[in-house]
Chains A and B, each alone.
Chain A
Amino acid sequence: MFAFIISRILQALPVMLTVALISFAMFAYVGDPVAIMLGQDFTEAQRQALVKDLGLDQPFWVQFGTFIGNAVQGEFGLSYRLSRPVSDLIAERAPATLELALTAAIVALLIGVPMGVYTGLYRNSWLSRFFLTFSLVGVSLPTFLIGILLILVFAVWLGWLPSFGRGDTVKLGWWSTGFLTWTGIKALILPSITLGLFQLTLIMRLVRAEMLEVLRTDYIKFARARGLPNRAVHFGHALKNTLVPVITIVGLQLGAIIAFAIVTETVFQWPGMGLLFIQSVNQADIPVMAAYLLLISALFVSINLIVDLLYYAVDPRLRIGRGQGAH
């Protein structure tokens, strides 16, 4: 088990290095930070001093090495736009995005899995048909449109929920949470539905397809033939056997939820990393973009590792090293 984790981390290293190279290359090829930072009026001496200060006169590989060295320590330099350390900016924004993504993922799981089980079990009931039609809407409507429609209905027409922002937050150390205030929770509802709706329908359709598959197997028939109650057959024997593919997709989708919260955060002016990223793109704030890119890829790599470990927890056939026993 331990060897497995080590080998997966070693496999992840080239991936991270490649991403680092790409994000670093942005410094050299996207925009000119010196021009941005100096503004309109400057002397040649000022320009050269800044180039030297930023280390831009060093050869490419030396600069890359310095970049990696700093990145490992969580140091991504100063934001060109805000002239503050990038690590501070991200630490400030990350809780908002992570709380939003977590809420969206939990909503998607808690609603998507039972809906999938239901539509798999009672595939001809009118409720299942309704769920399936509804899921088509979730899959096909673009996120920004769903967000705007929700704002129109619940914020503009009904006035029940806020249309933007995070509400009041509470500081827990460096982490700012919106879970502890009523306005914070109200502000979470619309963005998390917007962000989670696609995942919800995806999970529902996946669980349904897997349930239909599993319900045809001999071990389900045998479980019925043993007279086990329906609840044990459906939610124990059947659902557990659908979990491996569901874990895969949910894991990857959790990464996607965090990485692509950009659209939702823009629609709801949610002060998270996605909004920070999109503002940085507009102004070619490369240190922030590079840090964001690295952070997201590190996130995907760790989620993949966790997914692999979950396989082991769920499916005993993947566990090796246990006695194979005499036949």
Chain B
Amino acid sequence: MSGQNPLLEVRHLRVEFPTRRGTLVAIDDVSFTISAGEVLGVVGESGAGKSMTGAAIIGLLEPPGRIAAGEILLDGRRIDNLRYEDMRRIRGKEIGAIFQDPLTTLNPLYTVGRQLAETMTTHLPITPAEARKRAIGWLDLVGIPAAAQRIDSYPHEFSGGMRQRVVIALALCAEPRLIVADEPTTALDVSIQAQIIALLKSLAREKGTAMMLVTHDMGVIAETADRVAVMYAGRIAEIGPVRNVVKQASHPYTVGLMGSIPPLDRRVERLAQIDGAMPRLSAIPKGCAYNPRCPKVFARCREDRPDLLPAGATQAACWLYAGEAKTHG
């Protein structure tokens, strides 16, 4: 990576949900960066805060959720404290978004061409006629056959995979520099998933678009991402280059996660399993959130919360690497 400003920088992000029974901390002290053209995979169990992080970045946290602390910077400029109207101009134009379920993300009452054209005329200085021409081009680019005829079709006239292609075209059509893709293949047939990921990957590379790819599919991450962030109970457990995280994980949680993926090259009787379940937001234990399930737990884990520490080629939030940090420091 170059030493320049990263495209996106998230610093000590904290997202809270005030509820009647006290404040829940959904994201706690999360920091990471994404460079221009880079793909950052974000993995973790349901409820680990991966989608929430994406929503915070595009400024669409569902109330009462709110950013309680930290900063989000795009190109060195803070975007987490912008007024709604200013952030709106960034959404779609600078940061595109792809949602999970293509069957529900398109407005059923408007043609795909209209939805594409309105996105482009909102952000780009082009005429409706030019927008329509480009819309056909985008549909063609995302692999919709006979795009010129299909542009006036309604979303229900497309299959799920085709609709996700339309969603990708919508996310990319104003040429944003960053895409937040929230589980873009989870709702699709397995046979379609690979095509959609390949499409996303090639378009991102072609346009030089950076991507934050939220998923719980390690296969997708291994194939697509440059770096991976593993999230657990609202924090980043480990972050680093994809090869190192997958092959030589440092955090015991990542190790457990990787161990639970069935290997293809040999038979195993039983898959490794992490005992217990991720704690609920209202009952996150003291110290490291993973300590009740961790096979390598020791006294300090139950008392203090670890920050990200250098651990080999990656960084892990684990006290096992406290010594290493000292020798390095």
Interface residues, chain A, CB within 8 Å of chain B? Answer: 217-219, 221-230, 232, 237, 240-241, 314-317, 322-327
Contact of A228 with B156 in the complex, beta carbons under 8 Å: no
Contact of A217 with B104 in the complex, beta carbons under 8 Å: yes
Contact of A316 with B122 in the complex, beta carbons under 8 Å: no
Interface of A is mostly: helix
Contact check: which of A226, A229, A327 meets B170 at CB < 8 Å? A226
- On whether A325 and B153 interact (CB within 8 A), knowing A222-B99, A227-B93, the answer reads yes
Contact of A227 with B119 in the complex, beta carbons under 8 Å: yes
Least Cβ distance of A232 to chain B in Å? 7
Least Cβ distance of A56 to chain B in Å? 57
Contact of A325 with B150 in the complex, beta carbons under 8 Å: yes
For residue B158, CB closer than 8 A to chain A, the reply is yes
Contact of A317 with B108 in the complex, beta carbons under 8 Å: yes
**Assembly CA distance A218 to B170 (angstroms):** 14
**Assembly CA distance A218 to B37 (angstroms):** 27
**How many A-B contacts at CB < 8 Å in the complex?**
90
Which A residues lie within 8 Å of B322 (CB)?
none
Least Cβ distance of A120 to chain B in Å? 15
Contact of A325 with B167 in the complex, beta carbons under 8 Å: no
Least Cβ distance of A194 to chain B in Å? 35
Least Cβ distance of A3 to chain B in Å? 22
For residue B88, CB closer than 8 A to chain A, the reply is yes
**Residue of B93, B105, B107, B170 contacting most chain A CB atoms (<10 Å):** B107
Least Cβ distance of A209 to chain B in Å? 19
Contact of A219 with B104 in the complex, beta carbons under 8 Å: yes
Contact of B162 with A225 in the complex, beta carbons under 8 Å: no
Contact of A227 with B123 in the complex, beta carbons under 8 Å: yes
Contacting residues of chain B (153-187) with chain A, CB-CB under 8 angstroms: 153-154, 156-159, 161-162, 167, 170-171, 174
Contact of B92 with A316 in the complex, beta carbons under 8 Å: no
For residue B307, CB closer than 8 A to chain A, the reply is no
Contacting residues of chain B (92-130) with chain A, CB-CB under 8 angstroms: 92-93, 96-97, 99, 101, 104-111, 118-119, 122-123
**Residue of A229, A316, A317 contacting most chain B CB atoms (<10 Å):** A316
Q: What are 13 A-B pairs at a CB distance below 8 A?
A: A219-B106, A219-B108, A222-B167, A226-B96, A226-B119, A227-B89, A227-B119, A228-B88, A228-B119, A229-B88, A240-B109, A241-B108, A325-B158
For residue B258, CB closer than 8 A to chain A, the reply is no
Least Cβ distance of A158 to chain B in Å? 44
Contact check: which of A229, A232, A314 meets B109 at CB < 8 Å? A314
Residue of A whose beta carbon sits closest to that of B89? A227
- On whether A225 and B92 interact (CB within 8 A), knowing A324-B157, A325-B153, A325-B157, the answer reads yes
Contact of B93 with A326 in the complex, beta carbons under 8 Å: no
Which A residues lie within 8 Å of B171 (CB)?
226
Contact digits for B127-165, partner A, Cβ 8 Å, 1 yes 0 no: 000000000000000000100001001101111011000
Least Cβ distance of B172 to chain A in Å? 11
**Assembly CA distance A322 to B158 (angstroms):** 12
**Assembly CA distance A237 to B110 (angstroms):** 8
Additional pairs, 8, CB under 8 Å, beyond known A218-B99, A221-B60, A222-B170:
A219-B106, A219-B108, A225-B96, A227-B89, A227-B123, A230-B84, A315-B108, A325-B153
Contact check: which of B89, B105, B123, B157 meets A222 at CB < 8 Å? B105
Which B residues lie within 8 Å of A219 (CB)?
104-108
Contacting residues of chain B (167-217) with chain A, CB-CB under 8 angstroms: 167, 170-171, 174
